[in-house]
């Protein structure tokens, strides 16, 4: 997310913001599905390069080819670097066979992680109710990763670490939005994926290169989807948060959990285990309660 919360948004602007955020999450889900589809043939490094190159082009063109000059360069570089680590973690997990829906179930923990990290990073105060609900969300994590369960695997452990890193990048995005344009933030994020992907080529060479084959037609079709989709989604997120308050848009954070699970079932036949579904439900409930308490505190502060 790339824009500070809108204050005093008009009802029509808030409604547009809701539509844009929903569309953005739908686009990013299909883009992630395209990544998972192409990984067995092009590998992690080439997927990073394709995402970065095509995503940067999409952001640049859709923003009217505006000048992409970063103001807070140090924080921009730190955010881009950490986000690239998150991307590599997700790609490795999908390459290892982790279902799309399961990865989104793990990602549902991000808003709870942001609640905790906002204390040292933004100086926000968190009351005992939100601490309790965050603790309840962590119990949901334990339900999902119980020993012997479907998520008792190294890919899930990698993703949980990546989700905490992702929460840090989202907080940094809020800080960057005070000085830098949304398009600038999205553009440099996409650009950063290219050198990281090139650096990883010796470690993760494209499987088709080692086999001496060419990408299949379906992969050639999916590559533009993964690259252009990422760029478009980040612009939609940025515009949505410029139009509507964060509190109104935050519940849509969980939309990919539904759409990603459905795509996983339809494309790969991946039906989540009951422990994954139950744990995700606990985490989402805790996240929504935290959002409710944040709104209550905001109203009390104004009164």
- pLDDT, tens only, 70-128: 999 999 999 999 999 999 999 999 999 999 999 999 998 888 887 788 788 877 777 77
What pTM did the predictor assign? 0.86
Asked whether the predicted pLDDT for residue 2 surpasses 60, the reply is no
Asked whether the predicted pLDDT for residue 150 surpasses 60, the reply is yes
Average model confidence (pLDDT) across the chain: 85
CA proximity to 36, closest of 191, 214, 219 = 219
Pairwise pLDDT comparison (201 vs 286), residue with the higher score: 201
| Per-residue pLDDT tens over the stretch 223-270 | 999 999 988 887 888 777 767 766 667 678 888 898 999 999 999 999
Residue 3 phi/psi, 5° resolution? -145, 145
Task: Measure the CA–CA gap between 225 and 221, rounded to whole angstroms.
Answer: 7
CA proximity to 174, closest of 122, 233, 115 = 122
Q: Answer for the pair 20, 243: CB distance below 8 angstroms, yes or no.
A: yes
DSSP state of 250: G
* Average pLDDT of span 27-40: 95
Which residue's structure tokens are 């809020």? 174
pLDDT band for 284, please (50, 70, 90 cuts): confident
Pairwise pLDDT comparison (169 vs 198), residue with the higher score: 198
Task: Measure the CA–CA gap between 237 and 300, rounded to whole angstroms.
Answer: 28
Other beta carbons within 10 angstroms of residue 17's beta carbon come to: 24
Which residue's structure tokens are 């036949």? 269
Q: Answer for the pair 86, 78: CB distance below 8 angstroms, yes or no.
A: no
Task: Measure the CA–CA gap between 8 and 164, rounded to whole angstroms.
Answer: 31
| Tokens describing residue 229 | 């989709």
Task: Measure the CA–CA gap between 210 and 74, rounded to whole angstroms.
Answer: 38
Q: Answer for the pair 194, 48: CB distance below 8 angstroms, yes or no.
A: yes
């Amino acid at each position: 997310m790339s824009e500070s919360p809108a204050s005093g948004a008009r009802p029509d602007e808030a409604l547009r913001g809701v539509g844009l955020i929903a569309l953005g999450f739908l686009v990013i889900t299909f883009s992630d599905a395209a990544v998972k589809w192409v990984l067995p043939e092009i590998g992690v490094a080439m997927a990073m390069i394709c995402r970065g190159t095509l995503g940067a082009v999409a952001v640049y063109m859709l923003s009217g080819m505006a000048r992409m000059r970063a103001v807070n360069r140090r924080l921009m570089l730190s955010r881009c670097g950490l986000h690239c680590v998150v991307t590599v973690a997700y790609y490795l997990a999908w390459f290892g066979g982790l279902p799309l829906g399961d990865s989104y179930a793990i990602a549902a923990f991000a808003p709870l992680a942001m609640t905790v990290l906002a204390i040292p990073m933004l100086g926000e105060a968190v009351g005992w109710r939100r601490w309790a609900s965050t603790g309840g969300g962590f119990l949901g994590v334990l339900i999902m990763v119980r020993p012997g369960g479907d998520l008792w695997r190294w890919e899930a452990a990698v993703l949980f670490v990546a989700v905490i890193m992702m929460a840090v990048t989202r907080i940094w995005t809020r800080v960057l939005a005070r000085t830098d344009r949304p398009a600038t933030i999205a553009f440099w994020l996409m650009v950063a994926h290219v050198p990281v992907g090139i650096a990883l080529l010796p470690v993760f060479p494209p499987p088709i290169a080692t086999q001496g084959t060419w990408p299949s037609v379906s992969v050639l079709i999916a590559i533009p989807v993964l690259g252009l989709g990422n760029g478009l989604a980040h612009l939609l997120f940025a515009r949505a948060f410029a139009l509507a308050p964060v509190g109104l848009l935050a519940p849509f954070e969980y939309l990919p959990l539904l759409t990603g699970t459905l795509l996983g079932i339809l494309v790969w036949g991946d039906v989540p285990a009951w422990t994954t579904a139950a744990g995700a439900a606990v985490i989402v409930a805790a996240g929504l309660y935290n959002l409710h308490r944040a709104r209550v505190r905001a109203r009390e502060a104004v009164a």
